[in-house]
């Protein structure tokens, strides 16, 4: 079936998935480009493959063909790709593993994607997103993560509920601040921890800070007031993974 009209109801509904409210309503999201489509395919997440007419990309999933106009209409990229897919959202699992990363209100999708990529690199078992974290299925998050959000357990929780549960289960709760606490370099190896990273402008919320067992900071030259949160998270996860 070839779709050529951007006013077609099905095409309009696909494009709506660029907005969070429709992703939430339909429990679906879009990925664009060969690499991300293949990553989603490997995980069995594709509901429908969307190919520009004449593109040969044989995957064993329901497939529709569209014109270049339709690709350009749906795409959020500066350079739209002739291969896209509509995917089912990941099933939320329970909290697993001993190495937990907690994100308290990260707002920039590029930062969240970068953090997910580094969390996979440095063997985090579960990422917990606060309810006010940017949407995991925002296309910029997916692109910045290079599809690695499909390779790690990510759950969304009220942090004021889940952190006490982590404490009961003997996770060390570690907050991060720019200049307060223990130097990252001096931290002994941790077996079971939840490390909390805060919002870009405001850091970790006060009521979450109160739940922390200790704080760590990254030593740096005082000319630099702070690091990008994606960079800071990556350095901390690298160090904790040693």
| Interface contacts to a copy of itself, rule CB under 8 A | 110, 114, 117-118, 120-123, 144, 146, 148, 151, 185, 218-221, 223-225, 227-228, 230-231, 234-235, 238, 241-242
Q: Which residues fall within 8 angstroms of residue 162, CB to CB, at 6 or more apart?
A: 95, 102, 128
Cα–Cα distance measured from residue 97 to residue 103, given in angstroms and rounded to the nearest whole number: 17
CB of 215 to a copy of itself, least distance (A): 18
Residue 21 or 185: which CB sits closer to a copy of itself?
185
Residue 2 or 224: which CB sits closer to a copy of itself?
224
Torsion of CA 149, 152, 157, 160, to 10 degrees: -120
**Start-end of H helices in 93-183:** 109-121, 139-144, 159-168
Query: What tokens were used for 138?
Result: 């925002």
- Cβ contact 167:53 at 8 Å: no
CB of 117 to a copy of itself, least distance (A): 6
- Cβ contact 190:237 at 8 Å: no
Calculate the alpha carbon distances from 228 to 88, 122, 156 in Å: 31, 18, 23
Residue 61 or 231: which CB sits closer to a copy of itself?
231
Query: What tokens were used for 201?
Result: 């402008």
CB of 18 to a copy of itself, least distance (A): 18
Identify any residues that bridge with 83 across adjacent strands, giving them in sequence order. Answer: 51
CB of 122 to a copy of itself, least distance (A): 6
- Cβ contact 168:97 at 8 Å: no
Residue 71 or 124: which CB sits closer to a copy of itself?
124
Residue 52 or 139: which CB sits closer to a copy of itself?
139
Cα–Cα distance measured from residue 242 to residue 21, given in angstroms and rounded to the nearest whole number: 40
CB of 230 to a copy of itself, least distance (A): 6
Residue 51 or 90: which CB sits closer to a copy of itself?
90
CB of 33 to a copy of itself, least distance (A): 14
């Amino acid at each position: 079936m070839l779709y050529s009209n951007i006013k077609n109801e099905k095409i309009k509904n696909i494009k709506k998935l660029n907005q969070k409210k429709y992703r939430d309503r339909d429990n679906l999201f879009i990925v664009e480009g060969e690499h991300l489509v293949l990553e989603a395919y490997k995980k069995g997440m594709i509901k429908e493959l969307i190919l520009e007419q004449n593109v040969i990309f044989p995957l064993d999933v329901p497939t529709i063909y569209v014109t270049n106009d339709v690709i350009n209409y749906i795409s959020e990229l500066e350079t739209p790709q002739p291969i896209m897919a509509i995917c089912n959202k990941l099933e939320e699992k329970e909290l697993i593993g001993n190495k937990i990363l907690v994100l308290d209100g990260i707002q920039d999708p590029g930062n969240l994607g970068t953090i997910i990529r580094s969390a996979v690199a440095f063997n985090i078992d579960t990422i917990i997103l606060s309810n006010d974290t940017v949407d995991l299925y925002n296309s910029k998050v997916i692109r910045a993560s290079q599809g690695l959000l499909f390779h790690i357990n990510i759950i969304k929780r009220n942090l004021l509920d889940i952190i006490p549960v982590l404490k009961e289960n003997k996770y060390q709760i570690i907050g991060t601040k720019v200049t307060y606490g223990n130097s990252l370099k001096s931290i002994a190896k941790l077996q079971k921890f939840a490390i909390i990273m805060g919002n870009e402008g405001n850091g970790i919320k006060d009521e979450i800070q109160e739940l922390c067992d200790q704080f760590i900071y990254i030593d740096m030259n005082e000319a630099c007031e702070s690091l990008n949160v994606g960079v800071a998270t990556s350095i901390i996860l690298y160090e904790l993974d040693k």
